[in-house]
Amino acid sequence: MPASWTFAVARDDLSRTTLVEGGTPALSDGEALLRVDRVGLTANNVTYAVLGDSMRYWEFFPPGPRGLGPRWGLPPLWGFAEVVESTVQGVAAGQRVYGYLPPAGHLVLRPDRVDASGFRDASAHRADLPSPYNVYRSTTGDPAYRPDQEDLLVLFRPLFFTSFMLADQVVDNDFYGARSLVLSSASSKTAYAAAFELHGRGPRLVGLTSPGNLAFTRSLGCYDDVVSYDDVDALDAVPTAYLDLSGAPDTRAALRRRLGDRLVRDVAVGLTTQIPNADAAGEVFFAPVQMRKRRQDWGREGLDQRFTDAWQRFTGVVGAWLDVRTGSGPDALAHAWLEVLAGRTPPRVGRIVQL
């Protein structure tokens, strides 16, 4: 088996990167070795790094065992991996899974709660981290999986899960009594997937985006109106809920000046820029919290079915909104990271790396 490798970024300067080679990890009893196969790079992955300390994202894949010091971090990715070796019954070599992966050639897990749908990683260092990130879904037991949609799953599934849960929370709270829902970073995948879920179900949907992304965002058809950040003062002064996916302080300040007490809800959803602004919002949306609520309301199978139904509706249209660009190997992963980090990836482009 070839030597493994790890891509890491400097925690204090995300534009500083390194590629480190090393031997393929050896297994102990109760472990399985995955070969990371196909991953995506989006602004979501940059968010994991920006919030790596405050939200503990750096802790999922510690750099120490990979020969890296504490100043380096492994930004988590979403994608597909294949089991190449296993000491765990029910987890067999050749099994293909979707889940949270390191930017590396291999990953050692401790599979637990193994069933037809996949398994969870029960590694000690992940025991008190948010549980949704520890789930690895087998392609043979995943109702949302289709072989011809792997790239859509890589690029959109974690984002769409956030979008689906965000839309559900908004509906679950009767749209916060708002007549208008304003979403910033409206050209981002997370924002327009949430808008797709919310469109036509209640308040008017308004997307805020940069002047250069106005045409693309309007072409999606999932917003009732799309407004430039420069034109916030043109928004209707009606009871409004703000779903902030940009983290831009100037946008929040402009909305508050325009709407005053008509801004009935101010929710920080996630960051597509590197200006953490969540503490200035009225509240922070964290998808696993709403997921836990819905698991209690609907059960695991009920939540999975609702997600699958929404996912299938979304994949019926999103292919026309996306141009997939595929690279190959660790160098392509490093290049894609820097492109996304610098904001040089147009909203229509999705970056996939085959490893």
pLDDT digit string, tens, across residues 27-41: 999 999 999 999 999
Rama region for 121: left / alpha / beta (φ>0; ψ in -120 to 50; rest): beta
Instruction: Give me the pLDDT at residue 4, please.
Output: 86
Query: Model's pTM, two decimal places?
Result: 0.85
Of 264, 288, 312, the one marking the end of a domain is: 288
Asked whether 42 and 155 are in contact (CB, 8 A), the reply is yes
Residue 278: pLDDT band by 50, 70, 90 thresholds?
low
138 shares its domain with 225: no
29 shares its domain with 116: yes
Does residue 271 register a pLDDT over 70? Answer: no
Between residues 231 and 288, the one the model is more confident about: 231
109 shares its domain with 189: no
234 shares its domain with 203: yes
Residue 316 lies in a domain: no
| Domain carrying residue 214 | 158-288
Would you mind telling me the total number of residues written for the chain in this entry? 355
Does residue 273 register a pLDDT over 60? Answer: no
Share of the chain above pLDDT 90, in %: 80
pLDDT in tens, 322-331: 999 999 999 9
211 shares its domain with 273: yes
237-270 burial, b at 16+ Cβ within 10 Å, e below that, comes to eebbbbbbbbbbeebbebbeebbeebbbbbbbbb
Does residue 212 register a pLDDT over 90? Answer: yes
